[in-house]
Amino acid sequence: MKELICIVCPRGCHLTVDDNLNVSGNNCPRGEAYAKAELTHPTRTLTSTVKITSKLEVRCPVKTDKPLPKEKIYEAMDLINHVKISAPVKIGDIILENILGTDVNIVATKNINE
């Protein structure tokens, strides 16, 4: 038996999952899907910043374009920490492609024009 708090929406339902992956305590189907994924293949959306050469900013905010396997988070942060880009950059620009062979890209989340 495992207990989890659903993080899919702010309601934060307290979930219980038995050994056969039967989920209870969820107030909607997304909670069941979250609990099963969390116990079989947990993922997270990663947000961070990268260095940028720009007149306006020293860091550019970035995030993964889809959830990354949780066990890859530290390796991904190491890659992100070694990146330096130059302005201009637009929201959605791919900063790092297919990181760690996961088919997940790191994309910019801010327009920095110069």
Q: Which residues bind ligand SF4 (CB under 6 A)?
A: 6, 8-9, 11-13, 26-28, 30-31
DSSP string, 49-107: EEEEE-SS-SEEEEEESS-EEGGGHHHHHHHHHT-EEES-B-TT-EEE-SGGGSS--EE
Q: Which is nearer to ligand SF4, 6 or 112 (CB)?
A: 6
Q: Which is nearer to ligand SF4, 12 or 92 (CB)?
A: 12
Q: Which is nearer to ligand SF4, 27 or 111 (CB)?
A: 27
Least distance between ligand SF4 and beta carbon 104 (Å): 22
User: Which residue matches tokens 């307290």?
Assistant: 14
Least distance between ligand SF4 and beta carbon 88 (Å): 38
Q: Please give the residue whose beta carbon sits closest to ligand SF4 in the complex.
A: 31
Least distance between ligand SF4 and beta carbon 5 (Å): 8
Whether residue 62 contacts residue 106, with contact meaning beta carbons closer than 8 Å, is answered with yes
Q: C-alpha angle 30/33/35, rounded to 5°?
A: 105
Least distance between ligand SF4 and beta carbon 51 (Å): 36
Q: Which is nearer to ligand SF4, 42 or 88 (CB)?
A: 42
